[in-house]
Amino acid sequence: MNRNLEARPRYQVIKDFIYQAIRDRTYPAGACIPPENELAKQFSVSRMTANRAIKELVADGLLVRRQGLGTFVTRIQAESPLLEVRNIADEIRGRHHIYSNDLSLLDRVRVDDNLAGRLGIRVGDHAFHSLIVHKENGRPIQLEDRYVNATLVPDYPQQDFCQTTPNRYLSDLFPLSEIEHIVEAVLPNKQEQELLKISPTTPCLLVNRRTWSEGQLISCARLVHPGNLYRLSSRSSLA
């Protein structure tokens, strides 16, 4: 046996086991995990040790107890403020969940009439196009389809978006001065279905976002979220 595994507290071994099972969907959202007495028997520990592992996972937001029914994997419903631009990786980690992503595309393109208008540049100018699936506990919750002004951000394709997000990289370079959000309810197209692993009839929230810094339009993004996993919120003072 690996000495590092032997050195770990037994409750941590159980936590890591359940954590990984949630991540690889052995225990999908809504699934009931084994009861404490079964976990105690499986890992040759006391029920108190198994209870500690479960309690900490409940505190982390990964599990929820239902009196008389058992302990279940939390159904993720991310929430993001409509009037702000937040880094999705920070949002997910702030919920004590695991952030990951898949970079599907990072390319340099010439813009057409439609894209030129959205980015505020001339037809035929270059933009960088990135397509990233953001995941929470291994489950896709956002497809980010982003175009970036290549003249203003020439090093965009050289970034490692497994280590940072486009939002974080662009925000560090260009402090945000203005945002535009247009929100729609849509059904996913074929590409969105494949990347988000959803059916053609899954209702989605679409956020069309444009961001400016000191009067310069930096990027435009199409953010698609499965509606059952994501919601937007807004709060403002009328005083």
Distance, CA of 146 to CA of 166 (rounded, Å): 9
Please check whether residues 41 and 109 belong to one and the same domain: no
Write out the two tokens for 205.
């929230």
Distance, CA of 40 to CA of 65 (rounded, Å): 17
> What pLDDT sits at residue 30?
83
Distance, CA of 162 to CA of 65 (rounded, Å): 33
Average the pLDDT over 122-145 and give the result.
Answer: 94
Please check whether residues 21 and 65 belong to one and the same domain: yes
> What pLDDT sits at residue 35?
93
Whether the per-residue pLDDT at 33 is higher than 50: the answer is: yes
> What pLDDT sits at residue 157?
96
> What pLDDT sits at residue 80?
56
Q: Is residue 239 part of a domain?
A: no
Please check whether residues 215 and 165 belong to one and the same domain: yes
> What is the domain count for the chain?
2
> What pLDDT sits at residue 92?
86
DSSP assigned state of 203? -
210: domain CATH number is: 3.40.1410.10
Distance, CA of 124 to CA of 144 (rounded, Å): 23
Nearest to 156 by CA among 124, 186, 182, 132: 132
Nearest to 221 by CA among 110, 113, 143: 143
Please check whether residues 207 and 96 belong to one and the same domain: yes
Please check whether residues 151 and 224 belong to one and the same domain: yes
Q: Where are the alpha helices (DSSP H) in the chain?
A: 3-7, 10-23, 36-42, 47-59, 88-94, 113-119, 166-173, 190-196
Whether the per-residue pLDDT at 2 is higher than 80: the answer is: no
> What pLDDT sits at residue 135?
93
Please check whether residues 158 and 209 belong to one and the same domain: yes
Q: Is residue 238 part of a domain?
A: no
Domain of residue 90: give its range. 78-233
Q: Is residue 194 part of a domain?
A: yes
End of a domain among 73, 98, 120?
Answer: 73
Beta 204-213 vs 70-73: how paired, if at all? unpaired
> What pLDDT sits at residue 83?
54
Please check whether residues 88 and 51 belong to one and the same domain: no
DSSP states along 71-89: EEE----EEEETTS---HH
Cβ–Cβ < 8 Å for 141, 229: yes
- Please return the burial class of 165, using the count of CB atoms within 10 Å of its CB with bins 0-12, 13-18 and 19+: buried
Please check whether residues 65 and 84 belong to one and the same domain: no
> What pLDDT sits at residue 46?
94
> What pLDDT sits at residue 59?
79
> What pLDDT sits at residue 79?
53
> What pLDDT sits at residue 76?
60
Please check whether residues 99 and 53 belong to one and the same domain: no
The pTM is what?
0.67
Q: Is residue 25 part of a domain?
A: yes
